[in-house]
Amino acid sequence: MKLNKNLQLCILIGTLICYSIYFMFFYLFPTHFSNSDVRFASLVVEAITFVSLIYSIYSKKVSSNPFWICITIAIGSFLLGKIVYTYQDSFFEIPIDRFTISDVFYMFFLFFCLIAFCYKILKECNKWEKAFFICDICIVLTSIFTLEWYLFNQPNLNIFALSLGDVFLSFLYPIADLLFLLLGV
């Protein structure tokens, strides 16, 4: 029991040190980070999720099967991507347009989530559970596509001002939304 308390205390102190370093850079160099689009609350939530998953795996509260390990690595990659996204304009210069270092961590997040859910579907579900699980994933993908398209891409109402690729995407997104919604329902 004492080992679990020491481990929990070490994890808590490590998290507090990481956030102290974050705040130190944020408040010592406010001009560098004034255009930061990342909210601190989202970093806190992701860090708490990551730390609690690590603690659960080490304390054997959840089994150390590949699903939970992949989910933990995915959340850690997403957290690193958010931290790098916060500081990338000040420290990293990449000559590639529309590509940032944080995109690599976001791709790792998607990759490990895909591995975890494929493992869950293939190894731990019967036929009906697989069908319901795939339907749930389709509904979640529908909401993600819809939010990403309408909130982040902000489609243009004037179709003649768009390039051919943007017209194709504006045609493809609603079709993908409908297909995933029909598969999910």
Burial class of residue 108 (count of CB atoms within 10 Å of its CB; 0-12, 13-18, 19+): middle
Between 2 and 69, whose confidence is greater? 69
**Distance from CA of residue 144 to its chain's centroid?**
12
Helical residues (DSSP H) of 29-93, grouped into ranges? 40-58, 66-91
Mean pLDDT computed over every residue of the chain: 70
Q: How confident is the model at residue 1 (pLDDT cuts 50, 70, 90)?
A: very low
Amino acid, single-letter form, for residue 34: S
Q: What is the pLDDT of residue 58?
A: 75
Contact 86, 33 (CB under 8 A): yes
Residue 164 CA to residue 166 CA, distance in Å, equals 5
Can you tell me the mean pLDDT for 30-44?
A: 58
Q: What is the pLDDT of residue 170?
A: 65
Phi-psi region of 100 (alpha: psi -120 to 50; beta: other; left: phi over 0): beta
User: Which H or E run includes 5?
Assistant: helix 2-28
Contacting residues for 42 by C-beta, under 8 A, at least 6 apart: 82
* Lowest pLDDT segment from 69-78, 114-123, 157-166: 157-166
Contact 82, 49 (CB under 8 A): no
Contact 126, 175 (CB under 8 A): no
Q: Which residue has the tokens 């993600």?
A: 144
Between 1 and 100, whose confidence is greater? 100
From the CB of residue 180, how many other CB atoms can be counted at a distance below 10 Å? 21
For 136-171, what is each residue's pLDDT tens digit?
Answer: 777 776 666 666 666 555 555 555 666 666 666 666
pLDDT at residue 34 is higher than 70: no
Contacting residues for 87 by C-beta, under 8 A, at least 6 apart: 25, 33
CA angle in degrees (0–180, nearest 5) for 67-6-18: 70
